[in-house]
Amino acid sequence: MWSKKLEVGKNRNCRKEDLEDLCNGPLPSGLELWVKAYACTRVACTVSEHYGPFTIQQPHQDSNDGGVDGALIALPILIAILILISVFLVRWWRGAIDPLKWMNRLIGGGEEDELVTLQEIADPDRSIPIATYSEAFADLHRDTNLILSEQYEEIKRRAGQIEVRSGFEAANLEPNKPKNRWVNILPFDHSRVKLQQCDDDNPESDYINANYMPGFHHQREFIATQGPLPGTIDDFWRMVWEQNVMVIVMLTPCKERNRVKCEMYWPDTVQEAKQYGDLVVNPTSITNMNKFNINIFDISHASDLTKTRKVLQFHYLDFMDFTAAVEVEHFIEFVRTVRGQVPHDVTSPMFIHCSAGVGRTGSYIAIDHLQEYLNSPKFSFDDRINIFDMVMKMRKQRVNMVQTEAQYILIHDCFERMLEDKKKSLKTTESMEELYANQAYDPFPDVEYENVNYENKQRKEL
């Protein structure tokens, strides 16, 4: 932390004409001072609330000792200022205060947006060239993942600023509070999924703890949501129906360490349908694939049971809460299996949920995004990849997406493995092309492939 010591009243030779400029002379008796602490970076400064007033006491000696008197009086003030600045910086560092709020009050919302833009412009480039990702990957893991740890701390700091500027009005309405599994995991108003209001007299009937999330293909490719509570299962299936969802990805066991993480919201016996609100859910297939289950449901509206929709639920069984203790290869296989069942022309969102719908959910969405990029025509080894920015974009849509440092590291690990698979795939393709290439091809065919049969035919005729 940089600091500079300033001795107030040091210059005892200030002349009257010097007062037009800055002259650090003795403070006059009876002066009232209000103190503010400033903390500056290379981009901008923030200022604390004011403290005071501090009043300069009358001198105890005659005017000939005025300079000494002023210095003695100024010393306690200087000490008080330094203490205030230190307290301010320590509290800011620990996250106990948010100077951006003060800046917003001082300079207005528009200028705050400009300040954030300036900060982002001045940020270091965290993107990594894909061509050298393997080498960079080793650096990321060096010193117990120091670089990734620092990046994740910056994600949390910025996410705190986003949450300060975003609203949770719907989530904090009294009728909606019981619908939230965790009191600190609430959906932003600007990106929350709104259900169709089922009761004109109950405007809160449109609420569910869920947010639209961006993916590789479009901005609302996913819906990140919490695992249903006993009282929100009907709303969950209503959201599936209204959003025309075809795929649900579940990343949590219903119970973990003897604690309920998600209510079982589906029937677990084939052809034994259950009704949830106005929707009937009928399991038609239940398949175990070792690390995950695949369940297929036919869902229909109670008003017309003849019209059904097919919904696939992929339930990953080996991803514990707050951790990233999954086998990278198995989890990548799971992500690829899910994508293999999504038709390319489908534009309706995929449902992704765990318990809170943020940590494991955010990790899955990021890994799917990276996998889709690697499989797309846009992929190039000349590109750069920026997982930091990808996570920040998710944090702007829903709180705590990618909830732990370990999950942030997992995303990088998965990308490294998927990139290696991509390289092997391209090498195999090139080898096959060489194998089936026309070995007889010659750029000068006139000599090599002249019509010998024609010449022989002429000789025979002669």
- State the catalytic residues: 354
- Token pair of 239 as six digits: 């959201």
d(CA 415, CA 276): 39
CA separation, residue 158 to residues 99, 169, 303 (Å): 13, 21, 47
Other residues' Cβ atoms within 10 Å of the Cβ of residue 315: 20
Using CB atoms within 10 Å of the CB of residue 73, give its burial: 0 to 12 exposed, 13 to 18 middle, 19+ buried: buried
- Token pair of 407 as six digits: 């999950």
Of 211, 218, 293, give the one whose Cα is nearest residue 250.
293
d(CA 343, CA 340): 8
What would you measure as the largest C-alpha separation in the chain, in angstroms? 140
Taking a C-beta distance cutoff of 8 angstroms, is the pair 68, 122 a contact? Answer: no
Q: Where are the beta strands (DSSP E) in 158-302?
A: 210-213, 222-225, 247-250, 255-256, 259-260, 274-276, 279-288, 292-301
Using CB atoms within 10 Å of the CB of residue 141, give its burial: 0 to 12 exposed, 13 to 18 middle, 19+ buried: middle
CA separation, residue 95 to residues 90, 99, 120, 409 (Å): 9, 10, 20, 24
d(CA 431, CA 425): 10
Could you identify the residue written with the tokens 């129906």? 241
Of 164, 81, 129, give the one whose Cα is nearest residue 399.
164
Per-residue b or e along 25-60, where b marks 16 or more CB atoms closer than 10 Å to that residue's CB: bbbeeeeebeeebebeeeebebebeebeebebeebe
d(CA 24, CA 223): 61
- Token pair of 180 as six digits: 């939230």
Taking a C-beta distance cutoff of 8 angstroms, is the pair 209, 185 a contact? Answer: yes
Q: What is the DSSP letter of 192?
A: B
Which stretch of DSSP H or E encloses residue 306?
strand 304-316
Cross-strand partners of 45? 40
